[in-house]
Amino acid sequence: MFTEIEGSWDEVFDVVKRATDAVAPFGSRISLVIKADIRAGYEGEIDAKVERLEQAIEGVSGAAIKY
Instruction: Pick 64 or 1 by higher pLDDT.
Output: 1
Is 21:14 a contact under the CB 8 Å cutoff? no
Instruction: For 37, list phi and psi in degrees, rounded to 5.
Output: -120, 95
- pLDDT-derived band at 1 (thresholds 50, 70, 90) equals confident
Task: Give the pLDDT score at 11.
Answer: 94
pLDDT of residue 21 exceeding 70: yes
